[in-house]
Homo-oligomer: A and B are copies of this chain.
Amino acid sequence: MVEASTAEQVIEVSGGSILSPAGFSAAGIHTKVKRKRKDLGAIICDVPASSAAVYTLNKIQAAPLQVTKESIAEEGKLRAIVVNSGNANSCTGRQGLEDAYTMRKNSAKKFGLPEHQVAVTSTGVIGEAMPMDKINEGIAHLEPETGFERAQDFNEAIMTTDVAGKHACFQTWVDNKAVFIGGVAKGSGMIHPNMATMLGFVTTDAAIEPAHLQTALSEITNKTFNRITIDGDTSTNDMVVVMASGKAENNPLHPEHHDWNAFVAGLKETCESLSKKIARDGEGATKLIEVKVEGAATDEEAGQAAKQIVGSDLVKTAVYGTDANWGRVIVALGYSEVELDPDTVDISVGPVETLKASTPVHFSEEEAKAYLESDTVEITVNLHIGSGSGKAWGCDLTYDYVRINAGYRT
């Protein structure tokens, strides 16, 4: 069971990145799969890093996911993650799987590693054969180094329709040793003209066995990455990978370790920060929407209701139109599958109480409208039936979302 920790144990590292934890280097280069921007990147660990991953729940999964699963299954250790953007290697049949294996094999050769210590992943167009000549030549030119600029290069190499880079870094303490946790992510629409996917890569110098790292990642993912929605679509390539170098030299972490909660809190902060950055950078978005549901039967139901509300096109357009339209919030709540009492619902839009015990509150439309102009909008719902609470994140639905996604693929 992952417990939330007190805020004091975790501090944000300004200017931090995936290369803040000891033991990691990275690279990002342009191989001409994409027209202009960098499109091939790698994260390398000096030592075999304990690794864990979570994958898309879509039944259609891209070839590299299968290859990465095989790598991690071997001994739970990775030394390299190699990622390309511009082609998702999804719906590419037998050839696609061979290409993913080739990408792994050539990466292993380049960095002098056993194949099973290499993870590969791809994001971009679905249903087109991988341009393996460019990928293979690119792999030969990857020269990972340390420093924030290399983390930036890697970030650029994994972007598709993303407008902004998405870094996060937090510090915590385990056995009185400073432990860093850094992350980088991409994702804005789930599949823009077939350009897919949410990807997250997290590094840490904590010492931890793969199985415990997987436990922490799986539980945290359910409360962070799985609580964001841009358009309700789930791609064939979604993946989050964590690598732990152990260079912080703490005693290996496990759920009974006295600093387990501090580590989990740091990892959760990192994943939550990346999740919010993804939501804010949603295709065409002008605002981050955070929905918090309290007083639910369970934390899980609270999170589920929050996600249903933040995923409603009608709530999203109301926020875009700076309309404190609580009616759409209660309607979305009503069709979520969580337990509720129709007579006890409170809804606030930022500081503005709009519904109390399911009865409309007279509020200042001007004050609500002014609040909705801000770039982060918080909607709070209290069901008053239990003590469960949870959050979810999304963004407003705008003309630009339609423009971006109605654009012709080619």
A residues engaging B (CB < 8 A)?
Answer: 57-61, 90-91, 93, 125-128, 189-191, 193-194, 196, 231-236, 312-314, 317-318, 320-323, 325-328, 330-335, 340, 342-343, 355, 358-360, 365, 369, 397-399, 401-403, 405-410
Q: Which residues does chain B contribute within 8 Å of A360, judged by CB atoms?
A: 91, 127-128
Looking at A312, A317, A325, the one whose CB has the most chain B CB atoms below 10 A away is A317
- Name 27 A/B residue pairs within 8 A (Cβ), A-sorted: A59-B333, A59-B335, A59-B342, A61-B342, A91-B327, A91-B360, A126-B331, A127-B326, A127-B327, A127-B355, A190-B331, A191-B314, A191-B327, A194-B328, A232-B232, A233-B313, A233-B314, A233-B331, A236-B334, A317-B401, A318-B406, A321-B405, A321-B407, A321-B408, A325-B409, A397-B402, A397-B405
Bound complex: CA of A397 vs CA of B283, how far in Å? 15
Bound complex: CA of A60 vs CA of B59, how far in Å? 33
B402 near A402 (CB under 8 angstroms)?
yes
Q: Which residues does chain B contribute within 8 Å of A313, judged by CB atoms?
A: 231-233, 313, 401, 405
Chain B residue with Cβ nearest A397: B402
Q: Which residues does chain B contribute within 8 Å of A325, judged by CB atoms?
A: 193-194, 409
Q: A312-B232, A317-B406, A321-B405 are in contact. Are A191 and B127 (CB under 8 A)?
A: no
A402 near B331 (CB under 8 angstroms)?
no
Query: A311 → chain B, closest Cβ, in Å?
Result: 8
Chain B residue with Cβ nearest A58: B334
Query: A232 → chain B, closest Cβ, in Å?
Result: 7
A314 near B189 (CB under 8 angstroms)?
yes
Bound complex: CA of A331 vs CA of B57, how far in Å? 11
Chain B residue with Cβ nearest A284: B402
Q: Which residues does chain B contribute within 8 Å of A408, judged by CB atoms?
A: 321-323, 369
Chain B residue with Cβ nearest A340: B59
Determine chain A's interface SS by DSSP, over half rule. Answer: loop
Query: A315 → chain B, closest Cβ, in Å?
Result: 9
Chain B residue with Cβ nearest A410: B365
Bound complex: CA of A355 vs CA of B248, how far in Å? 50
Q: Which residues does chain B contribute within 8 Å of A403, judged by CB atoms?
A: 399
Chain B residue with Cβ nearest A235: B331
Contact of A314 among B61, B190, B399 (CB under 8 A): B190
Q: A234-B335, A335-B58 are in contact. Are A406 and B320 (CB under 8 A)?
A: yes
B335 near A91 (CB under 8 angstroms)?
no
Q: Which 7 pairs of residues, A with B, have the shortest CB-CB distance? A: A321-B406, A60-B334, A317-B405, A126-B327, A58-B334, A194-B327, A127-B360
Q: Which residues does chain B contribute within 8 Å of A331, judged by CB atoms?
A: 58, 60, 126, 190-191, 196, 233-236
Contact of A334 among B59, B193, B194, B359 (CB under 8 A): B59
Q: Which residues does chain B contribute within 8 Å of A57, judged by CB atoms?
A: 335
A335 near B233 (CB under 8 angstroms)?
yes
Bound complex: CA of A331 vs CA of B126, how far in Å? 10
Bound complex: CA of A59 vs CA of B358, how far in Å? 13
Q: Which residues does chain B contribute within 8 Å of A332, judged by CB atoms?
A: 233
Bound complex: CA of A325 vs CA of B340, how far in Å? 39
Bound complex: CA of A73 vs CA of B180, how far in Å? 65
Q: Which residues does chain B contribute within 8 Å of A407, judged by CB atoms?
A: 321, 323
Query: A19 → chain B, closest Cβ, in Å?
Result: 33
Bound complex: CA of A365 vs CA of B193, how far in Å? 14
Q: Which residues does chain B contribute within 8 Å of A232, judged by CB atoms?
A: 232, 312-313
Q: Which residues does chain B contribute within 8 Å of A323, judged by CB atoms?
A: 193, 406-409
A358 near B317 (CB under 8 angstroms)?
no
Bound complex: CA of A57 vs CA of B358, how far in Å? 18
Query: A59 → chain B, closest Cβ, in Å?
Result: 5
Besides A91-B360, A127-B326, A402-B402, 10 other A-B contacts (C-beta < 8 A): A57-B335, A59-B333, A91-B355, A191-B328, A233-B312, A233-B314, A313-B313, A314-B405, A317-B401, A397-B405
